Every structure is written in structure tokens, then in C-alpha cells.
Amino acid sequence: MTSPLFDPIELGALKLKNRIVMAPLTRSRAVEGEVPNPLAPEYYGQRASVGLIISEATQISRQGQGYPNTPGIFTEAQVQGWKRVTDAVHARGGLIVAQLWHVGRVSIAAYQPDGRPAVAPSAIAAEGNAMKEDFTMVPFETPRALTLEEIQGVIADYVHAAEMAKKAGFDGVEVHGANGYLIDQFLKDGSNQRDDRYGGSVENRLRFMLEVVSAVVAVWGADRVGIRLSPSNGSNGTRDSDPAAVFVPAAAALKPFGLAYLHLIEGEPGTAMAPWEGAPLLAARMREAFGGPLMLNGGLTRETAEKAMSEGRADLVSVGVPVLANPDLVERWKTNAPLNAPDRATFYGGGAKGYTDYPFLETVGA
Ligand SMILES: Cc1cc2nc3c(=O)[nH]c(=O)nc-3n(C[C@H](O)[C@H](O)[C@H](O)COP(=O)(O)O)c2cc1C
């Protein structure tokens, strides 16, 4: 049976061979200096048959880091590490964009270059636990609110990282505005209680996101920039009292840029990314307000992906865990072949096991 999933699609300047995208997946395997692991070129290269790879989240500065061994995109050594990754993906006919990340309050003083508390829109702690550099957990600490001057400094860090991503040979960048990290913290009223021009009204809460996007677009051109949003998954306790009132206008405010795509996490019921109880489903409304390609993510199977596309909730989809465990997911979906089971114990940290050793179809049982 033919499926729109295997049709090509253009996202701005990016010409995808199919509509199955590898979702960004943190693997916490960076080496000294937060440089991508030497196996990263092989890991990403193995997955180059998807229409587009979105890199694991890459911090734009040391201040933006909140997990162990996540790769950065702000030093020369990191750029060299990423260059090997982009070369490997291109050699196998793939496309890859860098996900630009600042975790904001989802960090602790131990990661901060100055040893001070992590930064956030407001001094409100995230919910749950932070992971220390030795992979043990500690409760989140209360962050400190960014000053107006510091906000401009963070935007300058985004510009620097965007430039470094260009140098590293990426095909574009995705601004990580999802999952309770810094941009999402500004968007949602549970984490943003500022009373200056970055807080309060919806217009003010959109400001930081729009300034970041504008700065990154100035480096790359809008046709190579995407953004990821998650109106309603509540990651790290980041919630809004009325997500529709923020995120439909957010999609509309992004429209004039003419971005390559809007990447929306709106998990299927029962998945880790499912909306919190009572949260609205916004994909169709946001797709209409954005007016460009909408990439949907969250617990999708071939069937639910096709359904989302036929119902007007998506133009293409991204897939995380299934691509992590199946380097040839596109071929498997195409042929309805069985899937490898993911090994959760090797998601974060470690070496080749659970990273570059998931079998391809032809090697199953060989
Ligand atoms: C191991 C792991 C790492 C992840 N890392 C990131 C990340 O770096 N950036 C991000 O935006 N989302 C990240 N996510 C979320 C995924 O991109 C995706 O939204 C989630 O897995 C749901 O999609 P799926 O059901 O297709 O896997 C991660 C998820 C997992 C399981």
C-alpha cells in the first residue's frame, strides 16, 4: 500500500526524500569538553535513510547545560566533532540539523560556569530531580531570574551557536523551544512570572522565543530554521494555565518568518509525551496558524502517523525511540517488518552498546 510517509517533501531549503524524521535524542555520550562521541558519526550515519535527522540537543553555552555528557556547539573542538557527524550523514545521502538548546532552570549550580544558581525567567524551581555529572539525581535548585541585560547575552549565545553549527556543516538548525527548557519556561505562566516586557501578557511571553528565532534566522535564513514546541506535555513541571491561548498565537507569530518547519510534540495517549490531563490538542489549529509544514511527534507508529497526516494534523512526522532502536526504520515501516526492541538501560551514557549496534534488517538473525 502506498503511503504519504514515503513521499518527498520540501521544508524551506531542505529537500527531504521522505516524511519520516529522526527526532532529537539526547544520548549523554559526549567526551571531554562536551565534544560528540567518536562513535557519533557512525550512529547518525546509520540513520541517514530518514528524510531528516535532528541532532540530539546541543547546548549553546556552558550555562545552557543541565545533563551529563551532552555535546555543546560553542567551542572549536565541538565544531570539529560535529563536522565528522555531518560529513558521515552527507556521505550516506542524509540531511541533519542541529538542535540548539538552553535548559534554563533544568540545571544546577554544579553545571554553571560561575557556580551560581541556574538561570530562568523567574526564580521558580523545576519539578523533580536534576541529573548530576556523575548521573546521580538531586532535587532541582531554585534558579535565579535573568536580568534584561543577561537575556541579550543568552540571545548572543544563540547567535554564536548558530554560526558554529554552520561551520560544522549542518544543513540547518532547530531551536529547542519545547520540554520545559528555557524558551518553554518563558512561554508558560507556571514558570514565567516576570513583570517586565518578557512576562505577563501572551505577547510578552512570546518575546524571548521570537527574539531568539529572529537572531538565528539572521544567521541561517528562515528556510533553514525550524522550531520545536510542546504546548502540553508538562516536562519538568512546566505548565501553562491556558496552553491554547499561548501556543496558537505563538504559531501565528512565527508565520511571518517563513520558517522551514514547526515541530510539535503532542504525544499519543499513553506515551511519555502525552498531554497532561485536560490539556488541549492543538496540532490542527497550530498548523493552520503557522501556515507552513508541521512536523508532529510523540509515540507515533506507522498507522498513527498516517492517520495524523490524513486528518490534517501533520505534514510529516518525527520519530524518536523507534529510530534509536531501528537504524533502518524507514525500510521497516515500508515493508511492515518487525522492529527491534529499544534497550532503555543504554539510552543515556555508555559506549557502542545500544548506540551503534542495533541490527539492520538484513543482519537480523544472521
Ligand atoms: C533517550 C531520549 C532522549 C531525548 N532527547 C531529546 C532531546 O535531546 N531533545 C528533544 O527535543 N527531545 C528529546 N527527547 C524527546 C524525543 O525527541 C521525542 O519527543 C519522544 O521520544 C517522543 O517521541 P517517540 O515516541 O517517537 O520516541 C528524548 C527522548 C528520549 C527517549
67 in active site: no
- Report CA(149)–ligand 1 centroid distance (Å): 32
Chain segment 97-125, per-residue pLDDT in tens: 999 999 999 999 999 999 999 999 999 99
* pLDDT at 366 (0 to 100): 47
* pLDDT at 365 (0 to 100): 52
* pLDDT at 122 (0 to 100): 98
- Return d(Cα 68, Cα 285) in angstroms, integer: 37
Q: Which helix (H) or strand (E) holds 323?
A: helix 321-325
Within 10 angstroms of residue 227's Cβ, the number of other Cβ atoms is: 27
- Report CA(2)–ligand 1 centroid distance (Å): 28
Q: Which three cell numbers stand for residue 172?
A: 540547518
Catalytic residue among 44, 181, 261, 355: 181
Residue range 244-272: average pLDDT?
A: 95
CB burial readout 35-72, b (16+ within 10 A) else e: bbbebbbbbbbbbbbbbbbbbbbbbbbbbbbbbbbbbb
- Return d(Cα 359, Cα 363) in angstroms, integer: 6
pLDDT band at 1 (very low <50, low <70, confident <90, very high): low
Residue 274 CB less than 6 A away from ligand 1: no
Q: Residues 205, 198: contact at Cβ < 8 Å?
A: yes
- Report CA(24)–ligand 1 centroid distance (Å): 6
- Return d(Cα 101, Cα 67) in angstroms, integer: 12
Within 10 angstroms of residue 236's Cβ, the number of other Cβ atoms is: 24
Q: Which three cell numbers stand for residue 52?
A: 531528516
Residue 155 CB less than 6 A away from ligand 1: no
**Which residue segments constitute the domains of the chain, with CATH numbers given?**
4-325 (3.20.20.70)
Report the share of the chain in percent with pLDDT over 70: 99
Residue 347 CB less than 6 A away from ligand 1: yes
Query: What is the atom index within ligand 1 of the atom nearest the CA of 319?
Result: 26
pLDDT band at 53 (very low <50, low <70, confident <90, very high): very high
Q: Rounded to the nearest 5°, which phi and psi values hold at 331?
A: -65, -40
